[in-house]
Amino acid sequence: MGSVRLLDCTLRDGGYVNDWNFGYDNIVSIFKHLSGAGIDIIEIGFMDERRSVDADHTIQPDGPALDAVYRGLDKGASMIVGMIDYGTCGIEHVRPSKQSFMDGIRVIFKKEKRREAIDFCAQVKALGYKVFVQAVSITSYSDEEMADLIRLVNDLEPYAFSLVDTYGLLHRRQLIHYFTFADEHLKKSISIGYHSHNNFQLGYANCIELLEQDIERPLIIDGSLYGMGKSAGNTPIELLADYLNNREPDRYRIYHLLEAIDVTVLDLYRQIPWGYSYKFFLSASNDCHPNYVSYLLEKKKLPAKAIGEILEKLPEEKKLNYDAKLIESLYVDYQQIVCDDTQAVADMAGEFAGREIVLLGPGRSVETHREMIQGYIRDHRPITVAINFVPDIDALDYIFISNAKRYVQIASSLDSLPPSVRLMATSNITGADGRFAYLFSYGRLIDEEALIVDNPMIMLMKLLDGLAVRRIVLAGFDGYEKSESANYVNPNMEHIFSREKAAEINADVVRSLERLHMRTPYEFLTKTHYNGSLEMR
């Protein structure tokens, strides 16, 4: 069995959690504890020429700036490495290793950039550094592409070649396949590394699997304190150190790692948690970039089955390369189920024409102003329509459903409604079983110029404006506020927004209202952000 080395990447991969803003004192504390624990290799951060010099960060514009953060610290017996994402830091920003705090540099690159990246690695090696070739998204490589990469790596003969499971997709069989392929084809002088992510909760298990392999060459296993890292996080290095201590007692001083977690890392975790989550499971199970899942989840309009069906439509070459326009197009295409709603519109016009319509939204004001709203309905006797929720309001006539996820969430409540309350929906709602009084084509009601193309308030107002109704009165459409305050009656409907994002969406809804050019007069009965202020229209 070859030698085993643990590499800690807290100060680099952990930076994806907090934008590398650890604070200088925390950086020093973490480094000293890792060195004190006897961790073999410590990765201290990124070099990225797009960044500015800041001693509180572990991402710096060049080698000298990154070195300066750690100036005067004792390395102990640890090897010190930094990282460059190929294309973000030119070789002119890296000084020779003899003048640097770093002993090695890890270079990450995407599959399609492998030839240029290996040429760059050769320049780094010429400066005297131990070079780590980091093949990100290893699951994207075919055997033929792996063979091509390994030929390039053998010609370079770096210190190490690492299998990087960027999105935590590897199961045991795949892991062993890539590892065995690399072991069989790499020159024996080259160490093999493994960098895991925990999307499937397999980071630790996969590391143990490799540690049990009988190989002659050195093995480098990555981990981080408390698993701190990108997406679902990494393998906790304290677990790996403890496992190896069972083989070789007292090799690593675990209490140093636990102190680093206790005094620094747990505080970061409380502010911005990382680790296994529903989102990262969905991305891993669909072999795709997590931003695709984030986009669909943030819609809060799709059940899990629909999300999976949309992700299945991603082209293979795009799965791990996020394309915002592509996922938006797939979302709209999926929702845009066409139906002939000519008869439904005619029937609804016969009932709604000449009437006042009260639309009830799920904003908190529908609850805080319930008595006032009920009084208005009692005095004016309008047709009352709730949108995507079941309100605690008497004299409800209809519920309009345009959100498939909400439909699933409120299904039991819909079953208990009295027969006098009828349902209407857009054609993207499936599984209706004939329960809708009216079904309308989703595609003709959306606003393709809007940030939220299928805002249900806009969709229903667009529909009503063509029915010759007398007037529309809106209650419970409060608009969006910063996430510290609840926007909805039902917490399941909450979105997470910054103040700036909330203001942007409010302004976009106002623009959608302007684009409607409503012929029908309308007013807001409760306070709203959608009329430019929080005053009644």
Above 50 in pLDDT, residue 85? Answer: yes
CA angle 340, 441, 488 (to 5 degrees): 155
Q: How confident is the model at residue 496 (pLDDT cuts 50, 70, 90)?
A: low
Percentage of the chain exceeding pLDDT 70: 94
Nearest to 113, CA basis, from 87, 91, 131: 87
**pLDDT of residue 482 exceeding 80:** no
- Look at residue 431 in the predicted model and tell me its pLDDT: 56
User: pLDDT tens digits, residue range 200-236?
Assistant: 999 999 999 999 999 999 999 999 999 999 889 999 9
pLDDT tens-digit series, residues 164-179? 999 999 999 999 999 9
Compute the average pLDDT of residues 229-254.
95
Taking the C-alpha atoms of residue 396 and residue 526, their distance in angstroms, rounded to an integer, is 18
Q: Higher pLDDT residue, 533 or 391? A: 391
Q: Is the pLDDT of residue 329 over 80?
A: yes
Q: Residue 485: is its pLDDT beyond 70?
A: no
pLDDT band at 536 (very low <50, low <70, confident <90, very high): very low
86-104 as b/e: b if 16+ CB within 10 A = bebbeeebbeebeebbbbb
The pLDDT of residue 434: 65
pLDDT in tens, 16-45: 999 999 999 999 999 999 999 999 999 999
**For residues 240 and 207, is the Cβ–Cβ distance under 8 A?**
yes
Cα 49 from chain centroid (whole Å): 25
How far apart CA 477 and CA 483 sit, in angstroms, is 16
Pairwise pLDDT comparison (403 vs 119), residue with the higher score: 119
H-state helical runs in 46-200: 63-69, 114-126, 143-156, 172-185
Residue 351 token pair: 């009932």
pLDDT band with cut points at 50, 70 and 90 for residue 533: very low
Cα(first)–Cα(last) distance of the chain, in Å? Answer: 77
Q: What is the C-alpha to C-alpha distance for residues 421 and 384, in angstroms, rounded to an integer?
A: 10
- CA 26/CA 260 separation, integer angstroms: 9
pLDDT at residue 493, as a whole number: 43
CB 406 within 8 A of CB 380: no
pLDDT at position 498 over 80: no
pLDDT at 132 over 60: yes
Cα 191 to Cα 193: distance, rounded to the nearest angstrom: 7
User: How many residues would you count in the chain?
Assistant: 537
Average pLDDT rounded to a whole number, residues 321-339 = 86
- Residues 76-83: what's their mean pLDDT? 97
R_g of the chain computed on alpha carbons: 29
Q: What is the mean pLDDT of residues 150-177?
A: 96
Domain extents in the chain: 4-271, 286-335, 342-524
pLDDT at position 484, please? Answer: 47
Answer yes or no: are the C-beta atoms of 453 and 470 closer than 8 Å: no
pLDDT bucket at 339, cuts 50 / 70 / 90 = confident
The correct answer on CATH 3.20.20.70 for the domain covering 4-271 is yes
Determine the pLDDT at residue 1. Answer: 56
| Residue 138 tokens, joined | 């290893």
Euclidean distance between CA atoms 295 and 352, whole angstroms:
36
Nearest alpha carbon to residue 27 among 45, 48, 49, 47: 45
Please give the share of the chain, as a percent, with pLDDT higher than 90: 77
Could you count the other beta carbons within 10 Å of the beta carbon of residue 189?
A: 11
- What is the residue-averaged pLDDT of the chain? 91
The whole-number pLDDT of residue 451 equals: 86
- With a cut of 90, say whether residue 429 has pLDDT above it: no
pTM (predicted TM-score): 0.73
